[in-house]
Amino acid sequence: MEDKLIWDKEKSGRYSVKSAYRLWEDRNIEEEGELYTLVNWKRFWNLKIPPKVKIFVWRWLNNIIPTGARIFDRMQKSSEGCPFRDLRETQEHIFHQCDWVRRVWRYSPMNSCVERGEVLTSEEWFCELQETESDEKLGEFLVALWFIWDQRNC
């Protein structure tokens, strides 16, 4: 009897890129923690918001927005500080802690959404809002996040 390689991820025993991708995706989900199981990605991608906002929010949820702190840590270039105060510019600072953004949120109809996010990570904040808010209100909140990011970087 001849030895034969069998790919146990397919019923046929033959390797396929599709099954390898599924295996990779499953492992990534385990490594990323609960984010991919908590976020309702189908609902998120179906929100009626501009594609550039969706891409921004995906980056925000994955903590890969190029903040001053992140750029400084990676390249040791530029300033890691907030342009409004001499504080380290992290995602939490940009969207929660900065005096400028607090004023923006205070006068925004999204104020109640923001108050709940004061001590949460981006992912926890989003997941809580996704469970409690309508698609329309969630979309408005995400557009507001993008607008804040856009205004800080213009």
> How many angstroms separate the CA atoms of 66 and 91, rounded?
9
Tokens 């993008």 -> residue: 146
**Rounded mean pLDDT of 50-77?**
78
Please tell me the predicted confidence (pLDDT) of residue 114.
Answer: 65
| Digit-coded pLDDT (tens) for 78-125 | 555 665 566 667 777 777 777 888 888 888 777 666 665 555 778 888
Q: Which two tokens stand for residue 54?
A: 């969706």
Global confidence as pTM: 0.67
Interval 11-53: pLDDT, tens: 888 888 877 777 766 665 544 555 555 788 889 999 999 999 9
- Give domain limits for the chain: 1-32, 34-152
Give the helix, strand, coil percentages of the chain, each rounded to 5.
Answer: 60, 0, 35
